[in-house]
Structure 1
Amino acid sequence: MAGAAQRIVALTEKVLGAPLPVRIRTWDRSEAGPPGAPVLVIRNRRALRRVLWRPGELGLARAWVAGDLDIEGDLYAALDLLAELIWEKGDDRQPTRSALDLARDPAVREAGLELVKLAGPGLPPPPPAEEVRHRTGLRHTLRRDRKAISHHYDVGNDFYELVLGPTMVYSCAYWQPEGTLEEAQRDKLDLICRKLGLREGQRLLDVGGGWGSLVLHAAREYGVSAVAVTLSREQAAYGRKRVAEEGLTDRVEIRVQDYREVDDGPYDAISSVGMAEHVGSARYREYADDLYALLKPGGRLLNHQIARRPLAREEAYEVDEFIDAYVFPDGELAPVGATAGHLEEAGFEVRDVEALREHYALTLRAWVANLESDFARAARLTSPGRARIWRLYMAASALAFERNRIGVNQILAVKTPEGGASGLPLRSRVWTADRTAGEVADGTADGTAG
């Protein structure tokens, strides 16, 4: 009689209507599939029950988080091979074969019944503890957003130190050839400060301020007074400790506060780095309006945000099931053009858009390497399931950036005053050069007026 692996491969290929691109090893030690390919390890029958009771991405995610599934070999290669079957669904976000087509196919129905027998009796296992459940209230209300942010960020600062490294920056770095992650993150912080034209005595608001890295850099290197707002209490506590250790309490304040509750403007500059993905499409115009109101005339906004590719039918967009359930609850991605449009509708003048897609792929691979270098400790610092979530999420995201399925962009916008004087240099990219003695504080270089 064929082993479980041979049976699963044959039955899965009937359901998919395509060859399985990875090798399978099952709980009975049988193997099947392409020789030399990465191995998908199915540790127990429970993994099959998870997938059968919730077919698709979420069932697979539950099995992965629970440890019922694993990948042996190159994780990136395995995810690349599986991407077309799991994630790439076309512009209309539909599988290659519709559920109705599958139900009508006698061979598929027979294969499904055989998989049910192979999975064994029993109810579906409960979702892993790390899955978001019992969400109440409208999306992107103050209360629900606080819970969503806490789910992602309040999982242990020691865990994030292991993954992110000493800079504690959780967004795309800005790489030089042969550079290190730490150098690339410092360069990114400095790039933002120069794009904002920061100079001594100005006020900076950092929306979604993370662990305080940007406001610390801006205060230390550019002499500004800075406020960072975050909904994560663990981030705020960590950031405040860093501020005190650097002796910057007179210039840096870190608040547990929603950006919608900030009422002490105007600010000379606002940064929003990796935060706008949490805002939601229904609230994005409100977000743009609020930031516009908090800026002085002539003030600059730097919006650093992940973007998805536009769809042929935008109304067909659906939030990724794995990301929504385990990583960023209620998070949404928008095309960069839609983001720029909302900012312009709010009154901003968009002056520069810089794509950093390849930079984020490099950043994510560096984070995965940090996690894998001491995975057992990472699991102890948070939970085995959460460590597995972050490994899968970051590796899959790295591939998504590399394959141009998603991108990331820095949009520099100005609250241009009446009269039209933007205050920006004639050469808009002078901030990308290395800082030199001839570069003035507002980001201009070589004597260019700005």
Structure 2
Amino acid sequence: MADAASRLTALAEELLGVPLPVRLRAWDGSEAGPANGPVLIIRDRRALRRLLWKPGELGLARAWVAGEIDVEGDLYTVLDRLAGFLWERGEESRGLLETVRDPRVRAAAAALLRLAGPFPPPKPPLEEMRGRSGARHTRRRDKQAISHHYDVGNEFYAIVLGPSMVYSCAYWTEQGSLEDAQRDKLDLIARKLGLKEGDRLLDVGCGWGSMAIHAAREYGARVVGVTLSREQAAFARKRIAEEGLTDRIEIRVQDYRDVEDGPFDAISSIGMAEHVGTVKYREYADALYGLLKPGGRLLNHQISRRPEPDEEAYEVDAFIDAYVFPDGELAPMGRTLTTLEDAGFEVRDVEAIREHYALTLRRWVANLEGDWDRAVRLTSPGRARIWRLYMAASAVSFERNRIGVNQFLAVRTPGSGASGVALRPRVWSESGESLEPEESQEPQGR
């Protein structure tokens, strides 16, 4: 096993056909690769067994969650440099052993097997969600998936999200605090919805109650918030009571498909549609359309992915599905828009805020790293490592334009054609970003 790093680097480059972009430090203390920059640490050769058994993101993720690999230096730089292997060279990284045909490459793969040690690989870390059965996106399975992600503990989320307790992309009008940017996002949504005193708002996937509180306190709206997470609901109700808003806000542990007390003047769906699933997306759009009164508005805030050349071959990210958002699915922006229109909505505005999410995620990672020991105590070392990796990798994905996030303003326009959307000019920045005009910055409510 002498000089394992050099042997591993040579074998990896033989298999992949390109130089490794990061320096390696192996379990025997040896190092190899580029001298400058961050170091990818392989603490245990069990990590190699995971990679050979599950090539690509899932094998790497399991090794990361188990603490068998780590990073010394800037995590974002390592992820950015490895992105070409994980995302742009997907076939090679997914199937090192399954797809090789060249005898020279086969020999390198066999040597890597010997370096990895006895098979089979260790069991997956406990934090991986297993035991799912039945069809995706039934009420029962959706509730299990939501619980896996959101019922991690409100104290843990308070570390990551900060005082705003908003778990979606912030809106950065200037380089201020995360709390300011989240408040600005909530207010942007309220203004797009045209909220005013007495309006009835349905907040789908209401989280810890931040949008409901903002709409009731700043605009005088009456709000129904629904979530499948009991921990979120308990936290939201406590906050609402402390704000003195229990007469204006009702929080329910309820599936949006079971809401029957419409119509509503407006609906906000912020970071919730990603859980719906592509096969259920039309059902989602139809349900929200049916819950709005004529002239009512929907603000759908949703992460999107880039279209695939062959959409039928699209695969859900294995790491995200196993450890982060079970059964979550992303759709291209165009598909979302078309589905909303097919349901009867008039889509009046689409705002892309991809860069805003990259900055938001970097702030969340900084929050987690800044209180790491407590985050580990509140959950587990593996769970904290999952959140650090997924948020940092997501930031890189947004920065590289692999994924985006968009706000769709859609109206249930009545037969008269009167949408109620104000006539106001758009303002554009030099980078092509849509800005709000000066006169629309103040709240339109009370």
Smaller-chain TM-score range? over 0.9
Specify the alignment match of 1:241 in structure 2.
Answer: 238
Deviation by residue 1:112-153 (Cα, 9 ceiling, x = unmatched)? 221221122243100000101111110000000000000110
Quick one: which amino acid aligns to residue 88 of structure 1? E
Aligned mates of 2:116, 2:421 — CA distance in 1? 64
Specify the alignment match of 1:208 in structure 2.
Answer: 205
Quick one: which amino acid aligns to residue 408 of structure 1? V
1:297 to 288, 294, 298: 294
Please state how far the C-alpha of 1:101 moved relative to its aligned partner: 8.2
2:86 equivalent to 1:82: no
Aligned mates of 1:302, 1:322 — CA distance in 2? 29
Specify the alignment match of 1:64 in structure 2.
Answer: 64
Please state how far the C-alpha of 1:103 moved relative to its aligned partner: 2.6
2:34 equivalent to 1:30: no
Quick one: which amino acid aligns to residue 148 of structure 1? A
Residues 177/439 of structure 1: CA separation in 2 closer, same or farther (3 Å cut):
closer
Aligned mates of 1:212, 1:429 — CA distance in 2? 30
Deviation by residue 1:281-305 (Cα, 9 ceiling, x = unmatched)? 1000000000000000000000000
Specify the alignment match of 1:448 in structure 2.
Answer: none
2:131 to 131, 134, 137: 134
Specify the alignment match of 2:147 in structure 1.
Answer: 150
Quick one: which amino acid aligns to residue 349 of structure 2? D
Deviation by residue 1:145-201 (Cα, 9 ceiling, x = unmatched)? 000000110001000000000000000001122211010000001110000000111
Aligned mates of 1:47, 1:337 — CA distance in 2? 39
Is 307-316 or 212-221 further displaced after alignment? 307-316
Specify the alignment match of 1:410 in structure 2.
Answer: 407
Aligned mates of 2:144, 2:293 — CA distance in 1? 32
What secondary structure, in the 3-state scheme, does the structure 2 residue paired with 1:324 have?
A: helix
Specify the alignment match of 1:177 in structure 2.
Answer: 174
Specify the alignment match of 2:432 in structure 1.
Answer: none
Identity %: 71
Residues 22/289 of structure 1: CA separation in 2 closer, same or farther (3 Å cut):
same
What secondary structure, in the 3-state scheme, does the structure 2 residue paired with 1:287 have?
A: helix
Specify the alignment match of 1:356 in structure 2.
Answer: 353
Aligned mates of 2:97, 2:111 — CA distance in 1? 19
Contact 1:102–1:108 under 8 Å retained in 2: no
Deviation by residue 1:320-347 (Cα, 9 ceiling, x = unmatched)? 1111111111111111111010000000
Please state how far the C-alpha of 1:394 moved relative to its aligned partner: 0.6
Q: Which consecutive aligned stretches of 4+ in structure 1 deviate over 2 angstroms post-superposition?
A: 93-103, 428-442
Specify the alignment match of 1:337 in structure 2.
Answer: 334
Specify the alignment match of 1:382 in structure 2.
Answer: 379
What secondary structure, in the 3-state scheme, does the structure 2 residue paired with 1:51 have?
A: helix
What secondary structure, in the 3-state scheme, does the structure 2 residue paired with 1:268 have?
A: strand
Aligned mates of 1:439, 1:326 — CA distance in 2? 39
What secondary structure, in the 3-state scheme, does the structure 2 residue paired with 1:104 have?
A: coil
Contact 1:208–1:230 under 8 Å retained in 2: yes
How does the TM-score come out when normalised to structure 2? Answer: 0.95
Aligned mates of 2:184, 2:199 — CA distance in 1? 21
Report the aligned-residue RMSD. Answer: 1.9
Quick one: which amino acid aligns to residue 208 of structure 2? W
What secondary structure, in the 3-state scheme, does the structure 1 residue paired with 2:384 have?
A: helix
Quick one: which amino acid aligns to residue 445 of structure 2? A
Contact 1:21–1:37 under 8 Å retained in 2: no
Contact 2:23–2:35 under 8 Å retained in 1: yes
Please state how far the C-alpha of 1:229 moved relative to its aligned partner: 0.5
Residues 438/329 of structure 1: CA separation in 2 closer, same or farther (3 Å cut):
closer
2:54 equivalent to 1:54: yes
What secondary structure, in the 3-state scheme, does the structure 1 residue paired with 2:176 have?
A: coil
Specify the alignment match of 2:436 in structure 1.
Answer: 432
Aligned mates of 2:53, 2:318 — CA distance in 1? 15
Deviation by residue 1:15-52 (Cα, 9 ceiling, x = unmatched)? 11111111110111000011113111000121111112
Contact 2:199–2:265 under 8 Å retained in 1: yes
Specify the alignment match of 2:271 in structure 1.
Answer: 274
Quick one: which amino acid aligns to residue 238 of structure 2? K
Aligned mates of 2:441, 2:84 — CA distance in 1? 50
Residues 172/324 of structure 1: CA separation in 2 closer, same or farther (3 Å cut):
same
Aligned mates of 1:419, 1:437 — CA distance in 2? 29
List runs of 5+ in structure 1 lacking aligned partners: 443-450
2:15 equivalent to 1:15: yes
Aligned mates of 2:153, 2:209 — CA distance in 1? 16
Please state how far the C-alpha of 1:2 moved relative to its aligned partner: 4.7
Specify the alignment match of 2:195 in structure 1.
Answer: 198
Aligned mates of 2:30, 2:303 — CA distance in 1? 42
Please state how far the C-alpha of 1:99 moved relative to its aligned partner: 5.8
Specify the alignment match of 2:445 in structure 1.
Answer: 441
List runs of 5+ in structure 2 lacking aligned partners: 428-434
Please state how far the C-alpha of 1:261 moved relative to its aligned partner: 0.6
- How do 1:90-105 residues align onto structure 2 when only pairs under 5 Å count? 94-95=91-92, 102-105=99-102
Specify the alignment match of 2:227 in structure 1.
Answer: 230
2:366 to 369, 383, 388: 369
Deviation by residue 1:377-435 (Cα, 9 ceiling, x = unmatched)? 11111111111111111111111111111110000000000110001101165993467
Aligned mates of 1:127, 1:96 — CA distance in 2? 19
Deviation by residue 1:50-78 (Cα, 9 ceiling, x = unmatched)? 11221221111000001000011111110
2:321 equivalent to 1:324: yes
How does the TM-score come out when normalised to structure 1? Answer: 0.94
2:36 equivalent to 1:40: no
Contact 2:56–2:93 under 8 Å retained in 1: no
Aligned mates of 2:362, 2:65 — CA distance in 1? 20
- How do 1:250-289 residues align onto structure 2 when only pairs under 5 Å count? 250-289=247-286
